[in-house]
Amino acid sequence: MTRIILVRHGQSEANLAHRWAAGATDAKLTALGKRQAELLADYLTAHERIDAVYASPLSRATDTVRPTAERLGLSVIPEEGLREIYGGIWEDQSISVLRTDPRTKPDFDTWDNDLANCRCTEGESVAEVYERAVSTVLRLAAENEGKTLLLGSHWTPVTSVLTRVNYGDVSHIKKTPSPFNASINILRYENGSLIVQTQNFIDHLGDLITPPIKKTKG
């Protein structure tokens, strides 16, 4: 049995500015996001025995789990499979522009209304992220049998994995509640399958909770 602690990154500069910083835009953590990362480390080091730490190579994910890794004397291992969706021409654009620009509006309307069948304009599809995120988590779990892993990732991969666990396939992704910044999701891996134990846990953040902004990801 492997335990997976799957975490969405803390608040990023793009979250705060309502910009689409996805798989090719390295938006940094805000001061609040850095504090959320420290609170995450406080909680995890007090309650968990973590054997290895992996993260998307984007700094907002890596820097969210780094404080925990450093306190445990571990390195953060970069894992491309945990990277956010590649947004194509959506990258680093404001959400308001994406909803109105004729080049992006049709596809962004699909993101809003039919997420499972959306492809970012000239970018990656939600279904493709679903497949790579799920396969990445399953692979890491199988490679680390008997261990507890901390994984730092982003909105779309985290939502994809939780959708797989709760509903079985990507067609149900809109049913999955949006993961908060620096939220904790704990999964158990046994016999090739994932089982959710804790989902969207935020008690460790106290009054520094930043709920997902509707229809913005990253």
Residue 67: what are its φ and ψ, rounded to 5°? -55, -40
What pLDDT, in 10s, does the model give residues 33-76? 999 999 999 999 999 999 999 999 999 999 999 999 999 999 99
Give residue limits of the domains in the chain: 2-205
Low-confidence ranges of the chain (pLDDT < 50): 215-218
| 117 CB-near residues (< 8 Å, 6+ apart) | 110, 126, 127
Q: Is 203 exposed, middle or buried (0-12, 13-18, 19+ CB in 10 A)?
A: exposed
Residue 188: what are its φ and ψ, rounded to 5°? -115, 130
**Correct CATH for 2-205 of 3.30.70.1290, 3.40.50.1360, 3.40.50.300, 3.40.50.1240:** 3.40.50.1240
**pLDDT at 211 (0 to 100):** 80
pTM for the structure as a whole: 0.95
Question: Both ends of the chain: CA-CA distance in Å?
Answer: 30
Q: Is 125 exposed, middle or buried (0-12, 13-18, 19+ CB in 10 A)?
A: middle
Q: Is 34 helix (H, G, I), strand (E, B) or coil?
A: helix
- What number of residues does the chain have? 218
**pLDDT at 213 (0 to 100):** 65
What pairing do the DSSP bridges indicate for beta strands 184-190 and 193-201?
antiparallel
Q: Is 91 helix (H, G, I), strand (E, B) or coil?
A: coil
